[in-house]
Chains A and B, each alone.
Chain A
């Protein structure tokens, strides 16, 4: 595989076109009150990559983690919905699409663990091999970590997720 092919793996190019989770966002206030009526905490974050002008608005809905219903411990909240709107390069669009698939339904603790693993791998300049067990499809961004100029592109949706998550938890 050439360097360029390792950067633009088929799965990345496919996701950059299918863009899972990409929607035309309804007004935030509407989404927040609709969510509140259904016991969900909704928040979003808008992020811009100043290098290229790419941007994303990612909206998170947090609800009860139904998988933890029987657990005696207080269950974490879970990511019950993820939608986004944005424009950008194939790396950032694929990253948002894969993020949507990867984090949907996870507890906030699980989502944060995945995010941390993803970030650490991306910032390693190719030194950390992506762990497919943990990252799933997001492991395809292993090639990106060898292109420091593109790490920001891949991180953009994840940074938006992190900020939206904090915001949603504070509600």
Chain B
């Protein structure tokens, strides 16, 4: 099998060199990664006669034993409804549930009460959009007016958004009469910042953008975009789904107003995600979902609501998931997010270096040497992404194919679908090389001569 590890991948440019950004960092090696892999039972299996090569963590990540055990332990020893009931189990369940919030908040640099549990990041963005929608209807206290939208107001997103950070804003615009605008993407998969300074203007009320693209791996310049928004007094919503799991992220340092992320992409279980909101903003927002557990006093016609985060957590919560997510955060902290980021930067550059060497395969997004997440999406000329994925699956390699919930971005880049390999802390350089070697066999198999 051909090796796709050119020297440029082994010693990438200074922006991604191991440890370059973090003096004193002890970089992860393949030996460490082999040890890490032992903590992930699902990785040790055979698929279609080959050892599983899991390169779809951008869609969903795998769980270490500690996460699985945390969830099981909760059900075996503490299962009870939280924030209600005075019995011992209910008190213990509430304590571990709130301790999980504290841990996840600290992981992203937030205050504990600035983290609202949601089912996933999609729900977190919808929570914002519907809360703003309710504010636009006049609900909430006097402070909620700052979230009220109407004709003449503008919501700005980017052309590279996942549908989860696009459609809720489209719908909010439709409900309120506001206008949706977008910052265009350049051919190289990065945002057109020159255009951004035109698009973000005096009518902009909300600027929502992704921290890192799930398709191109582009890492967006948060500080510059936040500065644009601050200049016109717009709220900033950051989709951090692809960065909180993979890079050290401090929402307070980034100075965004809101951020969302998903548990299942960061070694946690499905069914849990989080909304971060600055405390003073959450305090003024009207609720989205309403019902039990989010009220103080209720009569037949009105209700008073609790302070955040409980105001936004109606109904029985995702208790075991929150606790398991906290265990995932423990795992990531113990490994060290600097080391995770550094390792994945190497894997990302190795992917790019290898892809660039295969004839007839087009890399989407930033080219070799440019910072990117540890993922890469490609188009194989003459072979549909679905067929590429099938060929790889036959070799036990799991990748994502299709539009990755980002149709506008694919259209912008001139493709209908792509094939994406996305890495995590448990992927080895051998796995990346196997992916590259198998990818090189795709066109010949399908009779495409290049």
Residues of A whose CB lies within 8 Å of any CB of B are 2-4, 7-8, 13, 17, 51-54, 87-91, 93, 147, 150, 153
How far does the alpha carbon of A17 sit from the alpha carbon of B445 in the complex, in Å? 14
Q: Which residues of chain B come closer than 8 Å to A93, judged between CB atoms?
A: 384
**Cα separation A90 to B391 with both chains bound (whole Å):** 12
A-B contact pairs, 24 of them (CB 8 A): A3-B394, A4-B390, A4-B394, A7-B390, A8-B445, A8-B446, A13-B446, A17-B447, A51-B402, A52-B385, A52-B386, A53-B407, A53-B416, A87-B416, A88-B384, A88-B386, A89-B384, A89-B385, A90-B384, A90-B387, A90-B446, A93-B384, A150-B386, A153-B386
Interface check B9, CB cutoff 8 A:
no
A2: chain B residues at CB < 8 Å are: 394
| Chain A contacts for B407, CB-based, 8 A | 53
- Min distance, Cβ B273 to any Cβ of chain A, angstroms: 23
Docked-complex contact B386 and A89, CB < 8 angstroms: yes
CB distance from A107 to the nearest CB of B (A): 34
Could you tell me if A13 and B403 are in contact, using CB atoms closer than 8 angstroms?
no
Chain B residue at minimum C-beta to C-beta distance from A147 = B390
Whether a CB of chain A sits under 8 angstroms from the CB of B2 is no
Chain B positions within 8 Å of A51 at CB level:
402
Separation of A110 and B345 alpha carbons in the complex (Å): 58
**Cβ B394 vs Cβ A53 within 8 A:** no
The chain B residues found within 8 Å of chain A, CB to CB, are: 48, 383-387, 390-391, 394, 401-403, 407, 416-417, 445-447
Complex CA gap A87/B410 in Å reads 14
List, in ascending order, chain A residues with CB within 8 A of B445's CB: 4, 8
A52 touches B401 (CB 8 A): yes
> Would B402 and A89 count as touching, CB distance under 8 A?
no
B407 to A, closest residue via Cβ: A53
| Set of chain A residues within 8 Å of B390, measured between Cβ atoms | 4, 7, 147, 150
Q: Which residue of B383, B387, B417 contacts A53 across the interface (Cβ within 8 Å)?
A: B417
Most buried by A among B384, B394, B417, B447: B384
Closest CB of chain B to A49's CB: distance in Å? Answer: 9
Q: Are B446 and A52 in contact (CB under 8 A)?
A: no
Name A90's closest neighbour in chain B (CB-CB).
Answer: B387
Most buried by A among B387, B446, B447: B387
User: How far, in angstroms, from A33 to B402 measured CA to CA in the complex?
Assistant: 37
Cβ distance B296 to chain A, nearest Cβ, rounded Å: 43
Cα–Cα distance between A54 and B48 once the two chains are bound (Å): 26
Taking CB atoms, residues of chain B closer than 8 Å to A87 are 416
Cα–Cα distance between A130 and B447 once the two chains are bound (Å)? 25
Residues of A within 8 A of B402 (CB): 51-53
Inside 8 A of A13's CB, which chain B residues have their CB? 446-447
Give min CB distance, A88 to chain B, whole Å: 6
Q: Do A54 and B446 touch across chains, with their CB atoms under 8 A apart?
A: no
Query: In the complex, which residue of chain B has the Cβ closest to the Cβ of A53?
Result: B403
- Cα distance A88–B417 in the bound complex, in angstroms: 9
Q: Provide the bound-state CA to CA distance between A91 and B384, in Å.
A: 10
What 4 additional pairs, Cβ within 8 angstroms, besides A54-B386, A87-B416, A89-B385? A8-B446, A53-B402, A90-B384, A91-B387
Min CB gap B123→A, angstroms = 21
- Chain A residues with CB under 8 Å of B385's CB are 52, 89
Chain A residues lying within 8 Å of B447, measured Cβ to Cβ, are 13, 17
B residues near A147, Cβ cutoff 8 Å: 390
Closest residue of chain B to A7, judged by CB? B390
How many Å from the CB of B49 to the closest CB on chain A? 9
CB distance from B162 to the nearest CB of A (A): 15
B394, A89: Cβ atoms closer than 8 Å: no
Query: How far in angstroms is the closest Cβ of chain A from B386?
Result: 4
- The docked-state distance in angstroms from the alpha carbon of A150 to that of B380 is 19
Q: How far is the CA of A3 from the CA of B384 in the complex (A)?
A: 19
Residues on B with beta carbons closer than 8 Å to the beta carbon of A7: 390
User: A3 to chain B: which residues have CB within 8 Å?
Assistant: 48, 394
Smallest CB–CB gap between A75 and chain B, Å? Answer: 40
Q: In the complex, are the beta carbons of A52 and B48 less than 8 A apart? A: no
How far is B391's CA from A4's CA once the two chains are assembled, in angstroms?
7
Chain B residues whose C-beta falls within 8 Å of the C-beta of A90 in the assembled complex:
383-384, 387, 446
Residue of B nearest to A150 (CB): B390
CA gap between A129 and B10 in the complex, in Å? 50
- Give the complex CA separation of A17 and B446 in angstroms: 10
Q: 9 shortest A-B CB distances, which residue pairs?
A: A89-B386, A89-B384, A4-B394, A52-B402, A52-B386, A89-B387, A90-B387, A53-B403, A53-B416
Closest to B388 in A: A89
Q: Write out the residue numbers on chain A whose beta carbons fall within 8 Å of the beta carbon of B384.
A: 54, 88-90, 93
Q: CA of A89 to CA of B445 in the docked complex: distance in angstroms? A: 14
- Residue in A90, A91, A93 with the greatest tally of chain B CB atoms within 10 Å: A90
Instruction: List chain A residues, Cβ under 8 A from B387.
Output: 8, 89-91
Closest to B395 in A: A4
Docked pose: A90 CA to B384 CA in angstroms: 7
* A70 CB to nearest chain B CB (Å): 46
CA A89 – CA B416 in complex, angstroms? 11
- Residues of A contacting B401 in the complex (Cβ-Cβ under 8 angstroms): 52
Cβ of B196 to closest chain A Cβ, rounded Å: 28
The residue on B at minimum CB distance from A13 is B447
> Do B417 and A52 touch (CB < 8 A)?
yes
